Chains A and B, each alone.
Chain A
Amino acid sequence: AQSVTQLGSHVSVSEGALVLLRCNYSSSVPPYLFWYVQYPNQGLQLLLKYTTGATLVKGINGFEAEFKKSETSFHLTKPSAHMSDAAEYFCAVSDYDKIIFGKGTRLHILP
């Protein structure tokens, strides 16, 4: 079965610093991979997705992720953190006609 593992349930970075959220996947077929963000008391919003082609994917709000097949990874990065980036982030993988989510990483931004 397809699955994702997010390393670190909580990550803290200073405002202006690099954001790196780690995700490793397991899939028996070429995966489609996603990152979603969830703000408090809201649903999830798609940040970016990888389907095929270019392995560096750019998303909204300055985030990007790189698909590395050899490492089975799809880490999310942002060069400079902003206070508004504080939220929970979910990595996800396709499983036929549905999407399977990781447990999430809560990102804290320190002033």
Chain B
Amino acid sequence: DTGVSQDPRHKITKRGQNVTFRCDPISEHNRLYWYRQTLGQGPEFLTYFQNEAQLEKSRLLSDRFSAERPKGSFSTLEIQRTEQGDSAMYLCASSRGQAPNYGYTFGSGTRLTVV
């Protein structure tokens, strides 16, 4: 169990640029979740996958955001045409089954700063 890995840890980008984050879950976990956390707030749900299927997307996930999990293993979260309001910590979590039964294992997050 190597834990949930996120890459990069930090990303600084200029407004209008595209960015992509990667998450590698624990290998036997079939569910993968993306959250966004801004300063002074708790994690806000963005989207989640069961294997390669994206099962739910929050209304927070605007058209500029897209997430994939092509082979049911790692996942990517892309933000197009970044805005200053996108600055946040993006957290990935995985679970071996239904989250309420098993809870999450979180990665350390990717901190995005849009300048």
Contact = CB atoms under 8 A, between A and B. Distances in A.
Interface of A: 9, 32, 34, 36, 41-46, 49, 51, 90, 92, 94, 96-104
Contacts of A92: 42
A94 B106 CA distance: 16
A16 B42 CA distance: 27
Contacts of B31: 97
Most central of A44, A92, A94 by chain B CB within 10 Å:
A44
B65 interface: no
Interface residues on B, range: 20 to 34
Contacts of A99: 45, 99-100, 103-104
Contacts, number: 64
| Dominant secondary structure of chain A at its interface with chain B | strand
B108 interface: yes
Interface of B: 4, 31, 33, 35, 40-45, 48, 50, 55-56, 91, 93, 98-101, 103-109, 111
Given A97-B31, A98-B48, A104 B107 contact: no
A43 B108 contact: yes
Given A43-B107, A44-B106, A97 B100 contact: yes
A97 B98 contact: yes
B91 A104 contact: no
